[in-house]
Structure 1
Amino acid sequence: MESILARASIGISELKLNPTAAIERAHGPVAILNRNKPVAYLVPASAWEAICERLEDLELAEIVKARSGETPVSVKFEDL
């Protein structure tokens, strides 16, 4: 059985009937089920924005790690 990575779930048929109600009831991610298997997740905009920011931070951290072995270059502030 697949694990559901949300505290709430809704059938896809119920979602089709009234998507606005599903969004309003959601206080976090909602698993969308088709035949009792998760096929998608409905995520509030604020949570999605936080996820995107976190992913961007992780990408930037990888760049920093990759460049940490490089020789630093001295520059004057005025040159920037």
Structure 2
Amino acid sequence: MDTIYADYSVSMSEFKKNPAQVLRTAGEKPVAVLNHNRPAFYMITPKLFEALVEELSDRDLAELARQRLANKDGAVEVDIDSL
């Protein structure tokens, strides 16, 4: 059995009947759409999608900062006023 990462789930048949109603019922929560009782896809609002993209971007930036801090011995010191 697959793990479902949503508070709400609906069958593919129910989703096809009225996707807008499924979205209204879920509010801002993600919805797992099931096909033969297994997640086929997740439906999320644009607001939640944007939050997920921001979180992934923040994680990428944090990793880049960690990498650069690990290589700080090779950094060149500069005077900001001379730029």
Q: TM-score, normalised by structure 2?
A: 0.84
Deviation track 1:34-75 (CA, whole Å, cap 9, x = no partner) reads 011111111121111111101000000111111112314314
RMSD: 1.5
Match of 1:43 in 2: 44
For the structure 1 residues 48 and 4, does the alpha-carbon distance in structure 2 shift closer, same or farther, using more than 3 Å as the test? same
Match of 1:30 in 2: 31
Greater helix proportion? 2
Report % sequence identity. 34
Q: Partner of 1:38: helix, strand, or coil? A: strand
Unaligned ranges ≥5, structure 2: none
Q: Structure 2: how far apart are the matches of 1:8 and 1:37?
A: 13
Name segments (4+ residues, structure 1) moved above 6 Å: none
Unaligned ranges ≥5, structure 1: none
Q: How does 1:54-69 map to 2 (within 5 A)?
A: 54-68=55-69, 69=71
Q: Partner of 2:57: helix, strand, or coil? A: helix
